[in-house]
C-alpha cells in the first residue's frame, strides 16, 4: 500500500513530510519521494529503497513551506528511482503522487504519445501527471478536474504546481485520503498516523470528491465542481499509540496491548445485570437484523479467520444460517443475495480492496450491510448501512494481532446482541458476557508465560514445515497460527481442521516435524487427543495449546502451552495468544523484519 503526505503552511515542509513518511513506513513500500515548491521552482527528489536513502539526498536547510511526499508499493513498473513518485508532467512544473491504479492508463498513454508526449517512467501516475499538464492553463484545480474526467480506476492523489506555490489539490476515488486541519496550515494524508503529531482535527475526503488546500482554507467539491460541506472530526488515537513505547517491534507491542485493547473494545457494551449488550451502531437497524434469514461474513486474511470464529458463534447463539466467504471470491461469483441476507464486512483497516468490492456487490444486490472495522471513518465504515467499531487502537505491525482478538470480541458481542433478541435467555447471555469480560485478565496471565512460547520458537525455528491443527472453534485458531508464522518468519505452515489430516496432509508428517495442536477443553477434546496420537505415531513433535490443569496432554505432547479455561466459543481469544508469540519469536530468531515482512503491505488496497 502506498502512502501519501502533504503539507501547506508556514513551517518548513520537508521535516513534516519525512516524519509523516516514516509513520507510513509500516504499510510497506519499495521507494519514496518528495516534491517541494522552493521559491517558485518545483524540486522533486525520489529514490528506490528505504526512506533513509531518500533522506541522504535531501537538503534539510531548505525552507519551502509547501510539499508532498510518497511511499510507493510498486504496481505499474518496477521499484526504481524513475518509477518512484512524485511523477511530473512534461513541463516539470506539476508533480503528482498517487495511490491506486489508473485502469485506462494504456489507452491514455497511447493518446498522449500521439500528441508528442515522451514518457520517462512506466507508471500510470506519470500518465495522470502528463494529462494534468496538458490541461493546465493557470488553474491547477481545474486541470486536475478535467484530467480525472478522462480517468477510470482507483486513486487518491495529491498534486502541486510551481505556479501556485501555496496550493495542494487532492482527489480520491476508492483509496483513502484525509485532510488534517491546522492553524494557518493544513495537511493531507492517506492515513491518520502520518499527521497525528500535528493535528487531531480531520476531514475525510469522500469518493468522487476533490479538495483545494491552502494554508488558510480547504475547499471541497465533487469532481463536477459542486461544493461539498463536511464535518471536522476528531481522531481518537494518540501519538503514543503509534510509537514503539520501548518495545522492539510493533507486533510485540500490539500482542501485549491485547488485554487493554479488549477492555476498551468491551467498555460500555456489556450489561451483566440485564444480560444485555449495547451496540449503539446497530440500534437503528436492530429490527432488520433480527429478521435476517441468512448472514454472510466476508473478509480477507486474518479478518477472515476472525469471521470464521464469528460464523461458529452466530450459528450457535443466533441460530441463523451463516457463511464465511473470502471477499475476493464473493465479489466475482454470482452470489445468491436477497433482502433477507445480511452481509457483514470484517476488516481492520476498512480499506481492503477485495472486502470493499464484496461489500459493493452485496449492496448492489440488495443486502443489508454491516461493518466490523477498526479504523474510524474508513471506507468500509462509511459505506456500510451500520456497524460496530473494534476500538482496539491503531495496529501498525503488518501481522494482525490485536485486530484479530478485537474482531472476535465484537463478533461475540454481536452474536449475543442478536441471540438475545431471538432465543437466548438473559441468564445465558449473562454467563456468556461474564466469561467475555474475564478475557482481558486471562490474556494478561498468558502473556506472563511468554518465555515458554519463545522456548518453543527457539527449539523449532530452523524447521521449514509446520502443521497447525484445531477442531471446532479452534480450527480458525489453527489457520491464524499458521498464517502468523508464515507471513513473518517465511516458514511454510499449514493450518487444518484436525480431522482433515487423515485425508492427505498426514503424509507430510515425518520425524520431528513441529505440529501445533490447539487442544483446549471442550466438546471435541477426545477427538483432538486421538489426532495428537496419530501425529505422534508418525514421529511428529506435538506442541499443544491446552487448558490449565490438563495433565493428560502433558504425557502426550512434547510441549504444552497452557491457557485459562473459558467457554468454548471464547477459546480462540485465549488460544491464539501463544501462537502469536511463537510466530513473533520464531521470526526474530530467524532475523526477519517482523514489522515489515517481505512482499507484504499492511493494507491491501489494490487487487
Give the residue numbers annotated as catalytic, written as ranges: 2, 602
Q: Which positions ≥6 away from 537 have C-beta within 8 Å?
A: none
Single residue of 398, 410, 467, 561 touching ligand M6R by CB under 6 A: 398
**Binding string, residues 111-140; x marks residues near ligand M6R by CB under 6 A:** ------------------------------
23: left (phi over 0), alpha (psi -120 to 50) or beta: alpha
Site for ligand M6R contains 580 (CB under 6 A): no
Site for ligand M6R contains 190 (CB under 6 A): no
Do 185 and 8 form a contact (C-beta atoms < 8 A)? Answer: yes
Question: In terms of Cα–Cα distance, which of 438, 402, 404 is closest to 563?
Answer: 438
Taking the complex as a whole, the smallest distance from the CB of residue 607 to ligand M6R amounts, in Å, to 12
Site for ligand M6R contains 400 (CB under 6 A): yes
**Binding string, residues 477-516; x marks residues near ligand M6R by CB under 6 A:** ------x---x-----------------------------
Site for ligand M6R contains 384 (CB under 6 A): no
Question: In terms of Cα–Cα distance, which of 185, 18, 14, 205 is closest to 99?
Answer: 205
Span near ligand M6R by CB under 6 A; candidates 140-148, 228-236, 360-368, 396-404: 396-404
Site for ligand M6R contains 303 (CB under 6 A): yes
Span near ligand M6R by CB under 6 A; candidates 248-256, 273-281, 393-401, 538-546: 393-401
Question: In terms of Cα–Cα distance, which of 88, 162, 73 is closest to 126?
Answer: 88
Span near ligand M6R by CB under 6 A; candidates 138-146, 274-282, 345-353, 469-477: 345-353
CA distance 578 to 214: 50
**Total residues binding ligand M6R (CB under 6 A):** 16
H or E element at residue 476: helix 474-489
Do 314 and 411 form a contact (C-beta atoms < 8 A)? Answer: yes
Site for ligand M6R contains 348 (CB under 6 A): yes
Strand ranges of the sheet holding 322-326, from the earlier edge strand across to the other edge: 322-326, 294-299, 341-347, 368-373, 386-389
CA distance 157 to 171: 5
Q: Which residue of this chain has its Cβ atom nearest to ligand M6R in the complex? A: 301
> Which is closer to ligand M6R, CB of 101 or CB of 346?
346
Taking the complex as a whole, the smallest distance from the CB of residue 7 to ligand M6R amounts, in Å, to 27
Strand ranges of the sheet holding 209-213, from the earlier edge strand across to the other edge: 87-88, 94-102, 153-161, 164-173, 209-213, 218-222
H or E element at residue 8: strand 3-8
Longest distance between any two alpha carbons in the chain, whole Å: 80
CA distance 287 to 576: 34
Single residue of 31, 65, 190, 347 touching ligand M6R by CB under 6 A: 347
Taking the complex as a whole, the smallest distance from the CB of residue 415 to ligand M6R amounts, in Å, to 19
Taking the complex as a whole, the smallest distance from the CB of residue 250 to ligand M6R amounts, in Å, to 12
Tell me the CA distances in angstroms from 198 to 32, 375, 565, one per residue in order.
21, 19, 45
CA distance 480 to 579: 8
Taking the complex as a whole, the smallest distance from the CB of residue 114 to ligand M6R amounts, in Å, to 40
- Size (the chain), residues: 607
> Which is closer to ligand M6R, CB of 136 or CB of 304?
304
Helices assigned H by DSSP within 384-449: 402-420, 426-447
Site for ligand M6R contains 300 (CB under 6 A): yes
> Which is closer to ligand M6R, CB of 275 or CB of 301?
301
Span near ligand M6R by CB under 6 A; candidates 123-131, 238-246, 344-352, 490-498: 344-352
Site for ligand M6R contains 443 (CB under 6 A): no
Span near ligand M6R by CB under 6 A; candidates 37-45, 71-79, 121-129, 349-357: 349-357
Taking the complex as a whole, the smallest distance from the CB of residue 545 to ligand M6R amounts, in Å, to 19
Site for ligand M6R contains 604 (CB under 6 A): yes
Exposure of 544 in the CB half-sphere (CA atoms within 13 A): 28
**How many beta carbons lie within 10 A of that of residue 271, not counting itself?**
14
Taking the complex as a whole, the smallest distance from the CB of residue 297 to ligand M6R amounts, in Å, to 12
Q: Where does this chain bind ligand M6R (CB under 6 A)?
A: 300-303, 347-349, 352, 355, 398-400, 483, 487, 603-604
Amino acid at each position: 500500500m502506498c502512502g501519501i503526505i502533504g503539507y501547506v503552511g508556514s513551517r518548513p515542509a520537508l521535516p513534516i513530510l519525512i516524519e509523516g513518511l516514516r509513520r507510513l513506513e509500516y504499510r510497506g513500500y519499495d521507494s519514496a519521494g518528495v516534491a517541494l515548491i522552493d521559491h517558485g521552482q518545483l524540486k522533486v527528489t525520489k529514490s528506490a529503497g528505504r526512506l533513509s536513502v531518500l533522506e541522504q539526498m535531501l537538503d534539510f536547510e531548505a525552507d519551502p513551506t509547501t510539499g508532498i511526499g510518497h511511499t510507493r508499493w510498486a504496481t505499474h513498473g518496477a521499484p526504481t528511482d524513475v518509477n518512484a513518485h512524485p511523477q511530473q508532467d512534461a513541463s516539470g512544473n506539476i508533480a503528482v503522487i498517487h495511490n491506486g491504479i489508473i485502469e485506462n492508463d494504456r489507452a491514455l498513454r497511447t493518446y498522449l504519445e500521439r500528441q508528442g508526449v515522451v514518457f520517462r517512467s512506466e507508471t500510470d501516475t506519470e500518465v495522470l501527471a502528463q494529462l494534468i499538464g496538458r490541461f493546465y492553463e493557470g488553474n491547477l484545480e481545474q486541470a486536475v478536474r478535467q484530467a480525472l474526467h478522462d480517468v477510470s480506476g482507483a486513486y487518491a492523489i495529491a498534486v502541486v504546481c510551481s505556479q501556485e506555490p501555496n496550493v495542494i489539490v487532492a482527489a480520491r476515488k476508492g483509496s483513502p485520503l484525509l485532510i488534517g486541519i491546522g492553524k494557518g496550515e493544513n495537511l493531507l494524508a492517506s492515513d491518520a498516523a502520518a499527521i497525528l503529531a500535528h493535528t487531531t482535527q480531520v476531514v475525510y475526503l469522500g469518493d468522487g470528491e476533490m479538495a483545494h488546500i491552502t494554508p488558510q482554507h480547504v475547499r471541497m467539491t465533487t469532481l463536477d465542481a459542486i461544493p461539498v460541506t463536511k464535518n471536522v472530526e476528531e481522531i481518537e488515537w494518540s501519538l503514543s499509540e503509534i510509537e514503539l513505547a520501548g518495545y522492539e517491534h510493533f507486533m510485540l507491542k500490539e500482542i501485549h496491548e491485547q488485554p487493554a485493547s479488549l477492555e476498551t473494545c468491551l467498555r460500555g457494551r456489556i450489561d451483566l445485570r440485564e444480560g444485555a449488550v449495547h451496540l449503539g451502531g446497530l440500534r437503528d437497524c436492530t429490527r432488520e437484523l433480527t429478521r435476517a434469514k441468512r448472514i454472510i461474513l466476508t473478509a480477507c486474511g486474518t479478518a477472515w479467520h476472525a469471521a470464521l470464529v464469528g460464523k461458529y458463534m452466530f450459528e450457535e447463539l443466533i441460530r441463523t444460517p451463516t457463511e464465511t466467504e473470502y471477499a475476493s471470491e464473493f465479489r466475482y461469483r454470482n452470489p445468491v443475495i436477497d433482502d433477507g441476507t445480511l452481509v457483514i464486512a470484517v476488516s481492520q483497516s476498512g480499506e481492503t480492496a477485495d472486502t470493499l468490492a464484496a461489500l459493493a456487490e452485496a449492496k448492489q444486490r440488495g443486502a443489508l450491510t454491516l461493518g466490523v472495522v477498526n479504523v474510524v471513518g474508513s471506507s468500509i465504515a462509511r459505506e456500510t448501512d451500520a456497524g460496530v467499531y473494534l476500538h482496539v487502537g491503531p495496529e501498525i505491525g503488518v501481522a494482525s494481532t490485536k485486530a484479530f482478538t478485537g474482531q472476535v470480541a465484537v463478533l461475540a458481542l454481536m452474536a449475543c446482541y442478536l441471540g438475545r433478541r431471538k432465543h437466548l435467555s438473559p441468564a445465558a447471555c449473562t454467563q456468556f458476557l461474564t466469561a467475555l469480560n474475564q478475557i482481558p485478565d486471562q490474556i494478561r496471565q498468558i502473556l506472563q508465560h511468554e518465555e515458554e512460547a519463545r522456548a518453543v520458537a527457539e527449539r523449532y525455528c530452523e524447521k521449514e514445515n509446520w502443521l497447525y491443527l484445531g477442531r471446532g472453534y479452534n480450527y480458525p485458531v489453527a489457520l491464524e497460527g499458521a498464517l502468523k508464522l508464515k507471513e513473518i518468519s517465511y516458514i511454510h505452515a499449514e493450518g487444518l481442521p484436525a480431522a482433515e489430516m487423515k485425508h492427505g496432509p498426514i503424509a507430510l508428517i515425518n520425524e520431528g516435524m513441529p505440529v501445533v495442536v490447539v487442544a483446549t477443553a471442550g466438546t471435541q477434546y477426545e477427538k483432538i487427543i486421538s489426532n495428537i496420537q496419530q501425529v505422534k505415531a508418525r514421529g511428529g513433535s506435538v506442541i499443544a495449546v491446552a487448558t490449565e490443569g490438563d495433565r493428560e496432554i502433558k504425557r502426550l505432547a512434547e510441549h504444552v502451552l497452557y491457557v485459562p479455561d473459558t467457554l468454548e466459543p471464547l477459546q480462540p481469544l485465549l488460544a491464539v495468544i501463544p501462537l502469536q508469540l511463537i510466530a513473533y519469536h520464531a521470526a526474530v530468531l530467524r532475523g526477519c523484519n517482523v514489522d515489515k515482512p517481505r512482499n507484504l503491505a499492511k493494507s491491501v488496497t489494490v487487487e
